[in-house]
Every structure is written in structure tokens, then in C-alpha cells.
Amino acid sequence: MTVMAMHQQVGLLLTLILFLAAAVGSLAVGTPSAIIRTTCAAVGRPGGEVGYDTCVGLRSADPAAAAAKDERQLAVIATNLTVANVTSTVLVLDDLVKNLGDCLRYYRDMNKTLDAALGDLRAGRVEAASGKLLDANGVPDSCDIQLFEGSAKKNPMRKENTDADLLSRLAYAITDLQLPNPPRHRR
């Protein structure tokens, strides 16, 4: 629902929210059904893999659980919830793999640029090296931004990006000191 729609229909929305809260509340706080209690007690026995509370939590995760008639229906509901979870995990992985692939390409290019800057430095072409180091500087940020903007909202490369950023800035700064007329404020 958009903000504008909320403004237009505050009264209706509040009524709806109260109704839903009551409905959800009655499902969530009521005593678990007998089948849920016996099933979850069996699953949650000492040494079992999943605790009783997690098992009973099925009721809030899927309201259909409250109406389940037998263990098989509960198994269907738990499996169905797992499907939803796995679907979201696959989307997260898809997004991460794509963005990490982009980062990999950025960094491979950065390495080539750094390699060329090394050649320039060794040959005394300080200005050329400086320009290449400036180019290389942008890569760690680009990788961070790529992951930040990704739908997975995860950045497993934060430390590596920070390290590469710091080191490449340092190399650039030291190189710039050797220029007769340091091109300040280029960044």
C-alpha cells in the first residue's frame, strides 16, 4: 500500500489493522492444537534436532498449521515453508554470484593496471604511473557499491575492499610526492 493510499483511507486501514491483529493474535497466542503439541513434543524430545518451541513456531510462520489434522499435513506445511525459504536463498545467491563475478573482473583489471603502473615506476615514468594508480583506486569502491546495490544486501568483501582501497591510495599518494608539480585535488 502506498503512503498516499494510506492518507486517503486511514480510517479503513486502522479498522483493517485492528481486525487483522485480532485474527493473528488469536492464532498466535491460542493453545497449540493437540496434533501440534504431540508432534512437536515428539520432534522436540531431548536429543532431537529441533526444539519444541521452534516446532510450535510453525503456527506463526504458516497459519495453516493451526488447522492441520495430522502429522502429514504438518510435514507438508514445514516443507512448504522450506520451499519459500530456499527460494529466497537462491535469489540471494544468484545476486551475490553475479555481483561477485563483476568484482572479480574489476579486480583482475585493477591488477593489470597496477602491473602497468609498476612498469612505469621502474622506468621512471612517474606521471604515467600516477594516472594508472588513480584509475586503480576506484575499483574497491566500485565493488563495494555493486554489492551494496545488490538485492542480496550482503557484502562478503568489505575487508578486502577496505584493504585494497587503503593500499592503493597509499601507493598513489607516495607516487604523487615524486611529481615535480603534484596534481593536487584530482580526486
Residues interacting with ligand NAG, by CB under 6 A?
Answer: 62, 64, 76-77, 80, 84-85, 88, 108, 111, 115
CB-nearer residue toward ligand NAG: 41 or 73: 73
The set of residues, in sequence order, having a beta carbon less than 8 Å from that of 66 and lying 6+ positions away, is: 27, 30, 32, 33, 36, 59
CA atoms of 58 and 54, how far apart (whole Å)? 7
**Minimum gap (Å) between residue 112 Cβ and ligand NAG:** 7
Question: What is the smallest separation between the CB atom of 77 and ligand NAG, expressed in angstroms?
Answer: 5
Please say which residue, 13 or 135, places its beta carbon nearer to ligand NAG: 135
C-alpha–C-alpha distance, residues 116 and 122, integer Å: 10
For the record, the C-alpha cell of 79 comes out as: 516443507
Task: Choose between 77 and 143: whose C-beta lies nearer to ligand NAG.
Answer: 77
Cβ at position 85, least distance to ligand NAG in Å: 4
Contact criterion met (CB below 8 Å) for 172 and 134: yes
At closest approach, how far in Å is the CB of 158 from ligand NAG?
A: 20
Contact criterion met (CB below 8 Å) for 56 and 40: yes
